[in-house]
């Protein structure tokens, strides 16, 4: 299993000169996660899951296959 966290750090543009889209990209409160499960040497299929419970209890958990193209 490999677990990586990516936190985008970008300079914040001058609000007087930047358009709204560039401002959103620069100040978005996001952390990207990459989770890789390798069971290629296993003899039995395995299922992995990753969960995070934030402040919105209705959006806390999702199936990985729903957002990873069915992989």
Contacts 24+ apart (CB under 8 A), 9-12: none
The pTM of the full predicted model, rounded to 2 decimals, is: 0.46
pLDDT for 41 equals: 92
Structure tokens at 66: 């729903």
- Report how far residue 45's alpha carbon sits from residue 42's, in angstroms, rounded to the nearest whole number: 7
Query: pLDDT tens digit string along 5-46?
Result: 887 777 888 989 989 888 888 887 777 888 898 999 999 998
């Amino acid at each position: 299993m490999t677990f990586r966290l990516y936190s985008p750090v970008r300079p914040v543009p001058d609000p007087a000169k930047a358009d709204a889209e560039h401002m959103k990209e620069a100040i978005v409160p996001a952390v990207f996660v990459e989770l890789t499960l390798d069971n290629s040497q296993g003899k039995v299929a395995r299922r992995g899951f990753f969960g995070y419970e934030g402040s919105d209890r209705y959006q806390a958990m999702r199936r990985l296959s729903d957002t990873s193209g069915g992989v």
